[in-house]
Structure 1
Amino acid sequence: MKLSTKELIVCALFASIISILAQISIPLPFTTVPITMQIFAVAVTGLILGPKSGAISVLIYLLLGGIGLPVFAQFSGGFGALFGPTGGYLLGLPLMVYIVGFGKDKSSSPIIIFLSLIIGLISVYITGTLMFAAITGNTIYQSILYCVAPFAFVDLIKLVLAYIVGLSVSKRVSFNPTF
């Protein structure tokens, strides 16, 4: 797959946006998983760039964090962040952005697009919860209570905002990914 200079710049720009919005982070006392704007940023990326460019943007973000740059929530980075208790949420982001972008590319129906946002979020919850449970020794039920239940309502609000912002921007600006 060959990327044009414009496509590389756009993917890097969106990786930067995700990095910046991940720093808007509110730690919670009862879990190691903070509230961040990362889900919002990934959802907007999928809606604007589509599945392939969006996935490349998220993979750039994960690569930057994986090599140690402090781009993850609370200025963390490194393989410890990717493969620690909350790493599954990060590793689920490429699937989320792909699902969101695919849903938007395949349908103009608001219901289908929003459903793709919800399915994308659920994919992050699944990967994150499974990894959290495996690393911490908690049951799946306990992991859901710690890592999903406190965030579900706030994440739904983020998806509504991402839907509004993402579709508004994508109607006004075309990045025309060609791969």
Structure 2
Amino acid sequence: MNLKTNDIVLCALFAALTSILSQISIPLPFTSVPLTMQIFAVALAGMVLGAKKGFISIVIYLLIGAIGLPVFAQFSGGLGIILGPTGGFLIGCPFMALVIGYTTERTKSMIYIFISMVFGLFIVYTTGTVIFSIITKSTLYQSLIACVLPFVIVDLIKLVLASAVGKEVSKRIKTGVKVC
């Protein structure tokens, strides 16, 4: 794995961006999973950084949170969050970035990239639902109702936004034009 200084900076930047966007958090009364902008950040990391760097940036985010820094939703952190009922959603995030990045590296078709975003979201939902179900001893159906159903529409909107923002940011990074 040969990362250049620029790559390391971009991975750190997207880990920080994911940390910040995870704090945009709305607790919902009917589930322990808050509504955050984390999915937007993960999709953006995969689209802008590609498979390897997108994956690495989200793993960095998880490691920072695992050691106790409050980077997860609602300024939480620690290994207990990752190993807790909603930790499966976090565990799925690097794989979401990987899938999106893999697709982005192979096509410029926004349709295929969006489909990969939806597939990546499915990975997050699957790992999250299964782990939530195991830890809370609820059925998969109950877990889907509590942890996925309330978020599907909003998460799809976040993916549309991430694809639009990601397209522009990618162009600017590749051409060397200042983002800010």
- In the other structure, the counterpart of 1:71 is 71
Q: Residues 64-116 of structure 1: CA distance to partner in whole angstroms, max 9, x if unpaired?
A: 00000000000011011001000000000010000011111111112111100
Query: What is the alpha-carbon distance in structure 2 between the residues aligned to residue 162 and residue 109 of structure 1?
Result: 15
Give the Å deviation of 1:44: 0.6
DSSP-derived class of the 2:30 partner: coil
Query: What is the alpha-carbon distance in structure 2 between the residues aligned to residue 90 and residue 63 of structure 1?
Result: 11
Query: What is the alpha-carbon distance in structure 2 between the residues aligned to residue 133 and residue 7 of structure 1?
Result: 37
DSSP-derived class of the 1:134 partner: helix
Query: What is the alpha-carbon distance in structure 1 between the residues aligned to residue 154 and residue 132 of structure 2?
Result: 20
Query: What is the alpha-carbon distance in structure 1 between the residues aligned to residue 45 and residue 130 of structure 2?
Result: 25
Query: What is the alpha-carbon distance in structure 2 between the residues aligned to residue 149 and residue 93 of structure 1?
Result: 18
- In the other structure, the counterpart of 2:133 is 133
Farther-moved stretch of structure 1 (98-107 vs 81-90): 98-107
- In the other structure, the counterpart of 1:159 is 159
| Runs of 4+ that moved beyond 3 A | none
Query: Where does the alignment leave 5 or more consecutive residues of structure 2 unmatched?
Result: none
DSSP-derived class of the 2:71 partner: coil
Contact 1:49 1:175 in 2 (8 A): no
Query: What is the alpha-carbon distance in structure 1 between the residues aligned to residue 7 and residue 56 of structure 2?
Result: 10
Give the Å deviation of 1:10: 1.2
Give the Å deviation of 1:2: 2.9
1:88 matches 2:88:
yes
Identity %: 59
Contact 1:90 1:128 in 2 (8 A): yes
- In the other structure, the counterpart of 1:101 is 101
Q: What TM-score results when the alignment is normalised by the length of structure 1?
A: 0.96
Number of equivalent positions: 176
